[in-house]
Structure 1
Amino acid sequence: MIRYILKRFGQSLVTVLLVTIIIFLIIRLIGDPTHLMLPPEATEADRQVLRHQMGLDKPLIVQYGIYLLDLFRGNLGMSYRFALPALDVVLHALGPTLLLTVTALAFGILIGVPLGVISAVRRDGVVDQIATVFGVLGQAAPPFLFSLLFIRLFSIELSWFPTSGYGSISNLILPAIALGWYSAAGIMRLTRSSMSEVMDSEYVKLARIKGVPERTIIRKHALRNALLPMITFTSLQFGILMGGAVSVEFIFAWPGVGRLILESISNLDYAVVQAAVTVGALIFTLVNLGVDILYAYIDPRIRYA
């Protein structure tokens, strides 16, 4: 088991290293931040001095080496726009984003799994037909469309929820549902597919012949064996939701990382963009590492594969 965990941890480190290279190169292609940091009347000599102070006049390989060393030290640079360490700026916005993402994912699991199980057990029934419509809508429409529709219906027409803001449960409900509907639809469809396959398997038929109650078959035999693909999909949804939160945060004026990244790109704030994407990549990698370890506990055959 320890060997399996160390192997997955090494693969995660390689993934993070590749991500840092991609982040570093893409950020350098955005543009020169000195044009925004200095006033219009600044001379080219002034820009060269600032570039030297920021280390932008060094070769890319040297800049990347400095970036890696600073990353290991927990120093991701200073934000020129906020005049604060970039990591502090990102961590301040990370809390709202994680709250929104986790709530949206919880909504997806709580709605998607029961709907998928019922649809698989009672195929072609009323619930199955409703779940099919729910899944098609959720997978076809992007989160920002649901956000606009929800604001129009529940905030403007019915006045049930605020149109934007942060700080209370009422502010969280609409953006979480708008963001989580996509995951709920995907989880529902995958659960239905996995459960249908397991329910038609030979060992489930044998359990029925032996007289095992249907609820026990569904809970102990079918659902447990259909769990692995659902865990994989759910872990991927966490990263997808963090990325999809950008548009939802912008529409609902949610003070999260997605909104921060958009504003930082517009202002060419290198340090904040690098820090935000790096922290996001680290979180996503750690989540997937945790899922790999969870696999080994659920199905011991995986660790010996």
Structure 2
Amino acid sequence: MLIYILRRLAIALCVAITVSVVSFALLHLSGDLATSIAGPEATAAQVESIRVEFGLDRPMTTQYFDWLGNALHLDFGKSFYFQGQVIDMIAERMPITFKLGGSALLLAIVVAIPLGVLAAIYRDTWLDRVALMIAVVGQAMPSFWFGLTLILIFSVTLHWLPVAGNESWENFVLPAVALGYYAMPAMMRLTRAGMLEVLSSDYIRTARAKGLSKSKVIFKHALRNAVIPVVALAAVELGFMLGGSVVIESVYSMQGLGQLAWDAISRNDYPVVQAVVLIIAMFYIGLTFLADVINAMLDPRIRTR
């Protein structure tokens, strides 16, 4: 188990280094940062002054290692537009995004796994068809359109929930439903496929032949093995939710990391963009590593791969 964890950790570190290089390089390849910071009306002398002030006149490798060293100490510099420390801005916005992503993932798991199990048990029945229809609609429906529809029904028409903001738990209900419904179909289909494969295996037939109850066969023997790939998918989906929450946060005017990233991109605020991309990528890598470890604990055969 230890060897497996160390191997996966080495892979995660390699991916993290690659992400840091790409996130640093992309912004510099997008054009002359000094000109973008100074603005189109700046003189050549002003552009050169900004280039020296921000260290953009140094070799690219020197800039990268300086930036990476500061990032390891959570020092991402000062925002060009907001004129504040980047880490303070991220620390203020991060709880909102994580609360939204965690709520959406919990909702998706609570709905998707039971629905996938029922669809597998009652295969080719109306319940199976309804579950598959829900999955198809969820994958085809744009999340922003679904979010606006929820606002129209539950906020504008019924007046049950607030339209926008992030002041109370009520503000997170509709965004969590909109974001969670987007992740639910893949988890439901994977649970259904896993259950169908496990229920047709030899050890399940043996358990049934021993006279075990249907509930014990399904929940104690079948579901444990069928849910293994869902664990990895849940970690990946949470990473997608953290990175892709900009759409939902914009629809519901939630001041999270997604909204911060959008504001920074629209205003060429490069230190904020770099920091948000790097932090979300690191969480994504960490969640994937954690999913690998949990899968190895649930299925010892994975440790030998």
- Give the Å deviation of 1:31: 4.1
Aligned residues of 1:111 and 1:184 also touching (Cα < 8 A): yes
| Cα distance per residue 1:2-52 (max 9 Å; x no partner) | 222222212111110000111011112344455565477642201211111
Q: Which amino acid aligns with 1:164?
A: A
- Give the Å deviation of 1:243: 2.5
More displaced 10-residue stretch of structure 1: 191-200 or 40-49: 40-49
Describe the SS at the equivalent of 1:79: coil
Q: Distance in 1 between matches of 2:11 and 2:184?
A: 30
Aligned residues of 2:34 and 2:56 also touching (Cα < 8 A): no
Does residue 144 (structure 1) correspond to residue 144 (structure 2)? The answer is yes
In structure 2, the residue matched to 1:7 is: 7
- Give the Å deviation of 1:213: 0.3
| Cα distance per residue 1:268-300 (max 9 Å; x no partner) | 111111111111011111111111211221122
Aligned residues of 2:37 and 2:268 also touching (Cα < 8 A): no
Q: Distance in 1 between matches of 2:186 and 2:42?
A: 53
Aligned residues of 1:100 and 1:172 also touching (Cα < 8 A): yes
| Cα distance per residue 1:251-278 (max 9 Å; x no partner) | 1001111111111011111111111111
Q: Distance in 2 between matches of 1:39 and 1:118?
A: 59
Describe the SS at the equivalent of 1:159: coil
Q: Distance in 1 between matches of 2:287 and 2:41?
A: 48
Trace 1:224-303 onto structure 2 (pairs within 5 A). 224-303=224-303
Aligned residues of 1:33 and 1:269 also touching (Cα < 8 A): no
Aligned residues of 2:161 and 2:170 also touching (Cα < 8 A): yes
Q: Please give the root-mean-square deviation of Cα atoms over the aligned residues, in Å.
A: 1.6
Describe the SS at the equivalent of 1:133: helix
In structure 1, the residue matched to 2:17 is: 17
Does residue 106 (structure 1) correspond to residue 101 (structure 2)? The answer is no
Aligned residues of 2:97 and 2:242 also touching (Cα < 8 A): yes
Does residue 182 (structure 1) correspond to residue 182 (structure 2)? The answer is yes
Given the two structures, how large is their TM-score scaled by the length of structure 1? Answer: 0.95
Gaps of 5+ in 1: none
Q: Which amino acid aligns with 1:56?
A: L
Aligned residues of 1:163 and 1:252 also touching (Cα < 8 A): yes
Q: Distance in 2 between matches of 1:204 and 1:39?
A: 68
- Give the Å deviation of 1:142: 2.0
Aligned residues of 2:144 and 2:247 also touching (Cα < 8 A): yes
Q: Distance in 1 between matches of 2:304 and 2:193?
A: 27
Aligned residues of 1:32 and 1:268 also touching (Cα < 8 A): no
Q: Distance in 1 between matches of 2:36 and 2:56?
A: 15
Describe the SS at the equivalent of 2:56: coil
Trace 1:154-193 onto structure 2 (pairs within 5 A). 154-193=154-193
In structure 2, the residue matched to 1:213 is: 213
Q: Number of matched residues?
A: 305
Trace 1:1-80 onto structure 2 (pairs within 5 A). 1-35=1-35, 37-38=37-38, 42-80=42-80
Aligned residues of 2:225 and 2:299 also touching (Cα < 8 A): no
In structure 2, the residue matched to 1:197 is: 197
More displaced 10-residue stretch of structure 1: 36-45 or 195-204: 36-45
Gaps of 5+ in 2: none
Q: Distance in 2 between matches of 1:86 and 1:294?
A: 33
Describe the SS at the equivalent of 2:245: helix
More displaced 10-residue stretch of structure 1: 96-105 or 241-250: 241-250
Describe the SS at the equivalent of 1:56: coil
Q: Distance in 2 between matches of 1:38 and 1:24?
A: 20
Describe the SS at the equivalent of 1:131: helix
| Cα distance per residue 1:67-125 (max 9 Å; x no partner) | 12212232122112222221221221111111100100001000000000011111123
Q: Distance in 2 between matches of 1:113 and 1:202?
A: 23
In structure 1, the residue matched to 2:94 is: 94
Given the two structures, how large is their TM-score scaled by the length of structure 2? Answer: 0.95
